[in-house]
Structure 1
Amino acid sequence: MNIENSHIEEYTSIEQLQDIFASQRAAFNNNIYPKITERIAQLKQLKAAVMNNQEALISAISSDFGHRCADETRISELLTFVEAIDTSIKHIHRWTKPSTRKVSIIFQPASNQVLYQPLGVVGIMVPWNYPLILSLGPLVTALTAGNRVMLKLSEYTPHFNECLTTLLATVFKTDQVAVTTGVADVSTAFSQLPFNHLFFTGSTGVGKLVMKAAAENLTPVTLELGGKSPAIITDNVDMDLAAERICFGKSLNAGQICVAPDYILCPEHKKHEFIEAYKNAFARMYPSIKDNPDYSTIINEAQYLRLQKLIEEAELAGARCTQINPANESFENTRKMPPTIVENASADLGVLTEELFGPILPIVTYNKLEQAIDYVNDRARPLALYLFSLDKGEQAQVSYQTHSGGICINNTITHLAQGDLPFGGVGDSGMGHYHGFEGFQTFSKAKAVHKIGKLNGGKLLYPPYGKSIHQLFYKLFVR
């Protein structure tokens, strides 16, 4: 199948949204518990379609960005997709198997089970920065759980939207998986549909609006937001190692990723060593920027200007902003943006209060590790926390004494690609999980099943009360 030259209608109307939702709900009611073999077949067909059309998907995403490195899409989106779908196929029989739970002697003879049922129709709202994995990742988990799915894609990725819509139509009928597109009014109408679960990835501000809309229907939500993910460097780690791994995570997609290291917490006496190590690491990976196919552009002019304004604000306030430009190139009219390291920024500046979502890297210094921990805990809880330490005591200290959606020790980003680990935020960075078994649980109803037969030991406790058996029961169990 070749989908590169496909063409579809660009936007979904609000009436179409309602019709698609109605058809999916009706289809679900006719097949409330899809067979596991049916789900596995769907997942395998989806994987085959994506793998057979990966070049078209890569090209479409690059077109939407102006340029995005093909290898970055393979590493950060396709690899993660394969890991997610292979994990689901491998474990689906174990995940869906009813689990046996203990029955107290009081209620014997009886049995207890937890049965995982599909919720129904799931809505998934997708951002622009990683449109493939942030649409297909939750889609895989929702399908594994047996649901019908409506995807709302970002208006900022029209080429990808067209490509994915055509691809999914070769695998699914619209009453199983449907793609919807459109601007703000369609997004609003989408979030107002009475889904059985609504999954949103995006900014904290928009997440609040989505949750408010979902509340009108008592629709449960999963919010995958962002925030300012810190990278803590301690005294006992090799600085070249830390700088290289932070540079890799920060430079992916030019920093346009929700789990990118947002700022550095570095010992005061090691700040300059880190800066030099970071410059060297970036120059090794990207000896040039302007025409380098390995380095991605900022998605659009609005995002580019937002990032430039943050740097200008910091400079006007007296912060030191150092651009890393190994080949001394000019980037006029390119939307290619080199990394900028920011030192001595005051805590109220945008570079330290806003999620950066770009190649700006502020450095905050500390003298004792406890100060770094306090700095993190005094702020909104981040989606990710990165710790660079080879000391097991420090690793435990930071892991237990800070809150974040996830923690990655001595690396960046790669925790996101672990198919059997849950992924999700906490507080301002979101709520709920997907990936792995926890993701399967998100899109399932854990139904309690308590069953008894003809024998009923509980009958001994029926009224009239005051019998000796009641007194014995209270003496043995109500104490």
Structure 2
Amino acid sequence: MSTVKTPIETYSSSIGEVFSKQQKQSLHMRSENIKQRARRLKALQLWVEKNQKPIQDAIYKDFKKPATEVNITEIYPVLTEIKHTLQHLNNWTKPAKVDAPISMMGTTSYIQYEPKGVCLIIAPWNFPFNLAIGPLVSALAAGNTVVLKPSEMTPHTSELIDTMVGELFKEEEVRVFNGGIEVSQELLKLPFDHIFFTGSPSVGKVIMKAAAEHLTSVTLELGGKSPAIIDQSTNLKDAAEKIAWGKFINNGQTCVAPDYVLIQNTVADAFAEHLIGAVKQQFDSKKQGFDISTDYARIVNQKHFNRINELIKDALEKGAELIMGGEAKADENFIPPTVLTSVSDKAAVMEEEIFGPVLPIRTYENIDDAIEFINSKPKPLALYYFGKHSSNKKLILNSTSSGAVCINDCVLHFNHPNLPFGGVNNSGIGKSHGWHGFMAFSNEKPVLKQRVGLTTSKTVYPPYNNRVQQVVNLLMKYF
């Protein structure tokens, strides 16, 4: 019988060896000086700053993302995350003192933030650099070792990430494993101390099931249908400009992009005109066509091109009106910015996350109708309200649930370093970015120090005589 290993068996062996090395290294890193964590982050920052052009080129090769857009959505957020973390790392890692109640008189207590250990980061393809390296920053800041699995759908960027990590870290600190679903499956068999996954809710369920086998904690950054609500008090031109950018940047392949618009029927036509103008101004300013424009990215691959094209066809067959859009080009994975009105609730485009350059517009008569429609669907990753009515704003905030809310803007909250980023239920579990990302990869370990000799707790030791009962009664009544 042949003993030659198949490629996946060889890869599996390598994964196991690296995991064992990282388990040992993680024990060492628990007690290392915080300055060593900072040195790793500074080295990462310097590499990114020096290699902006290779990063731009790799992402362009994967889906023709414009260089400036790469800077805005891939490189800038990573550099901001590193700088913010370095600025606050000393304070984040300090033990946090906590007050003692009278019943704990004589004790001193604090919370020590310790690394979870060996962490797995599974990154998506839509922002292949940002959403791989951003969580890596948080994991390293918290003192963990990391196995990083980039997406196989953006091979050029994944290869660049592999090169970067190989130049900066020992494999017992950080190691990249590239490949398809079979690599992810092998990784998920291991008892990681934490898994950070960014992707779809359907795959998130698979990750959570695998994590449950080892009682591994998870952060799941998922997605969903994020609505944009517009009422008649809105500055329509301003809202159209912001929604055009938030929706069609990255060719709509953004988890926090407005998935659909809910607009008061009295202003729907006027908004549509402003929206069409804003999209043309931003993504076809030279009026040469979106397929020629250097400001408009592409769908990542043929599979997703076909999926989005079918969503458009299905919506049109079910009565939707195409007010912006045109001919798609399969050989280029090109779909122009597409805006639909009169969309049936039964159309697939209103039932599943679009994740592409298609924006359905649905009208409502009063704000309660809009809220009821949102609440009939799984909780979204983000919700956007455009308007000046404080009563509507308050009603929306109190009557809906979402991972985040932006008022009179969209997408922007992702880059706010002091805000937690994440979803709720179907749109995610756990938070990331800044302090919240540091906490995702940390264990809050409570430490209590008791005095020697007479203590409050000794007054309730057995035997449970009348004196002890009286002390208990006093504690229950007053403390």
Residues 400, 436 of structure 1: CA spacing in aligned structure 2 closer, same or farther, 3 A cutoff? farther
- Greater mean deviation of Cα atoms: 335-344 or 254-263: 335-344
Residue 178 of structure 1 is matched in structure 2 by 175
Query: Are 1:29 and 2:1 an aligned pair?
Result: no
How far does residue 336 in structure 1 lie from its aligned partner after superposition? 2.0
Secondary structure of the residue aligned to 2:421 is coil
How far does residue 324 in structure 1 lie from its aligned partner after superposition? 3.8
Determine the C-alpha separation between the residues in 2 that align with 1:92 and 1:150: 22
8 Å contact kept, 1:249–1:261: yes
8 Å contact kept, 1:33–1:146: no
Residue 3 of structure 2 is matched in structure 1 by none
8 Å contact kept, 1:10–1:181: no
**Percent of residue pairs bearing the same amino acid type:** 39
How far does residue 257 in structure 1 lie from its aligned partner after superposition? 0.8
Query: Are 1:410 and 2:408 an aligned pair?
Result: yes
Residue 109 of structure 2 is matched in structure 1 by 112
Query: Are 1:19 and 2:17 an aligned pair?
Result: yes
Supply the AA of the counterpart residue of 1:62: Y
Determine the C-alpha separation between the residues in 2 that align with 1:412 and 1:362: 16
Query: Are 1:259 and 2:256 an aligned pair?
Result: yes
Superposition pairs of residues 31-110 of structure 1, within 5 angstroms: 31-65=29-63, 67-110=64-107
**Cα deviations by residue, 1:193-246 (Å, 9 ceiling, x for unpaired):** 110000111111111111111111111111111110101111111100000100
Superposition pairs of residues 85-164 of structure 1, within 5 angstroms: 85-164=82-161
Supply the AA of the counterpart residue of 2:476: F
Supply the AA of the counterpart residue of 2:299: I
Residue 3 of structure 1 is matched in structure 2 by none
Residues 51, 310 of structure 1: CA spacing in aligned structure 2 closer, same or farther, 3 A cutoff? same
Supply the AA of the counterpart residue of 2:458: K
Determine the C-alpha separation between the residues in 2 that align with 1:10 and 1:191: 14
Residues 462, 223 of structure 1: CA spacing in aligned structure 2 closer, same or farther, 3 A cutoff? same
Determine the C-alpha separation between the residues in 2 that align with 1:371 and 1:110: 55
**Cα deviations by residue, 1:69-90 (Å, 9 ceiling, x for unpaired):** 1111110111111221111111
Determine the C-alpha separation between the residues in 1 that align with 2:411 and 2:182: 33
Match of 2:427 among 415, 426, 429: 429
Supply the AA of the counterpart residue of 1:129: N
Residue 333 of structure 1 is matched in structure 2 by 331
How far does residue 12 in structure 1 lie from its aligned partner after superposition? 8.2
Query: Are 1:167 and 2:164 an aligned pair?
Result: yes
8 Å contact kept, 2:328–2:334: no
**Cα deviations by residue, 1:408-456 (Å, 9 ceiling, x for unpaired):** 1111111001112110111111100111212211111101111112133
Residue 292 of structure 2 is matched in structure 1 by 291
Residue 318 of structure 1 is matched in structure 2 by 319
Secondary structure of the residue aligned to 1:333 is helix
Residues 159, 332 of structure 1: CA spacing in aligned structure 2 closer, same or farther, 3 A cutoff? closer
**Cα deviations by residue, 1:76-107 (Å, 9 ceiling, x for unpaired):** 11111122111111111111111111212122
**Cα deviations by residue, 1:16-50 (Å, 9 ceiling, x for unpaired):** 11111111111112332332111111111101001
8 Å contact kept, 1:267–1:368: yes
8 Å contact kept, 2:66–2:297: yes
Residues 469, 305 of structure 1: CA spacing in aligned structure 2 closer, same or farther, 3 A cutoff? closer
**Cα deviations by residue, 1:260-284 (Å, 9 ceiling, x for unpaired):** 1100000011111111110010111
Secondary structure of the residue aligned to 1:356 is coil
Residue 301 of structure 1 is matched in structure 2 by 302
Determine the C-alpha separation between the residues in 2 that align with 1:330 and 1:99: 56
Query: Are 1:466 and 2:462 an aligned pair?
Result: no
**Cα deviations by residue, 1:327-352 (Å, 9 ceiling, x for unpaired):** xx874632221111111222121110
Supply the AA of the counterpart residue of 2:448: H
Determine the C-alpha separation between the residues in 1 that align with 2:68 and 2:62: 16
Supply the AA of the counterpart residue of 1:303: H
Determine the C-alpha separation between the residues in 2 that align with 1:312 and 1:26: 54
Secondary structure of the residue aligned to 1:174 is coil
How far does residue 145 in structure 1 lie from its aligned partner after superposition? 0.7
Supply the AA of the counterpart residue of 1:133: N
Residues 170, 322 of structure 1: CA spacing in aligned structure 2 closer, same or farther, 3 A cutoff? same
Residue 226 of structure 1 is matched in structure 2 by 223
Residues 377, 40 of structure 1: CA spacing in aligned structure 2 closer, same or farther, 3 A cutoff? same
Residue 5 of structure 1 is matched in structure 2 by none
Secondary structure of the residue aligned to 1:311 is helix
8 Å contact kept, 1:12–1:181: no
The unaligned stretches of length 5 or more in structure 1 are 1-8
Residue 4 of structure 1 is matched in structure 2 by none
Determine the C-alpha separation between the residues in 1 that align with 2:34 and 2:143: 8
Secondary structure of the residue aligned to 2:78 is helix
Supply the AA of the counterpart residue of 2:445: K
Secondary structure of the residue aligned to 1:242 is helix
Determine the C-alpha separation between the residues in 1 that align with 2:357 and 2:108: 57
Supply the AA of the counterpart residue of 1:463: P
Secondary structure of the residue aligned to 2:263 is strand
> What do you get for the CA RMSD once the two structures are aligned?
1.8
**Cα deviations by residue, 1:132-183 (Å, 9 ceiling, x for unpaired):** 1110111111111111111011111111111111112221111111111111
Determine the C-alpha separation between the residues in 2 that align with 1:452 and 1:403: 43
How far does residue 466 in structure 1 lie from its aligned partner after superposition? 1.3
Determine the C-alpha separation between the residues in 1 that align with 2:207 and 2:29: 29
Superposition pairs of residues 355-366 of structure 1, within 5 angstroms: 355-366=353-364
- Alignment length (residue pairs): 467
8 Å contact kept, 2:110–2:448: yes
Q: What is the TM-score with the length of structure 2 in the denominator? A: 0.94
How far does residue 476 in structure 1 lie from its aligned partner after superposition? 4.5
Residues 37, 332 of structure 1: CA spacing in aligned structure 2 closer, same or farther, 3 A cutoff? closer
Supply the AA of the counterpart residue of 2:292: D
Determine the C-alpha separation between the residues in 2 that align with 1:12 and 1:393: 61
Residues 130, 205 of structure 1: CA spacing in aligned structure 2 closer, same or farther, 3 A cutoff? same
Residue 382 of structure 1 is matched in structure 2 by 380
Residues 456, 85 of structure 1: CA spacing in aligned structure 2 closer, same or farther, 3 A cutoff? farther
Determine the C-alpha separation between the residues in 2 that align with 1:317 and 1:234: 26
Superposition pairs of residues 439-478 of structure 1, within 5 angstroms: 439-457=437-455, 458-468=457-467, 470-478=469-477
Residue 271 of structure 1 is matched in structure 2 by 268
Determine the C-alpha separation between the residues in 1 that align with 2:46 and 2:174: 16
Determine the C-alpha separation between the residues in 2 that align with 1:334 and 1:271: 33
Secondary structure of the residue aligned to 1:428 is coil
8 Å contact kept, 2:81–2:433: yes
Detail structure 1 runs of 4+ shifted over 4 Å in the superposition. Answer: 9-12, 329-332
8 Å contact kept, 2:384–2:408: yes
Determine the C-alpha separation between the residues in 1 that align with 2:30 and 2:393: 45
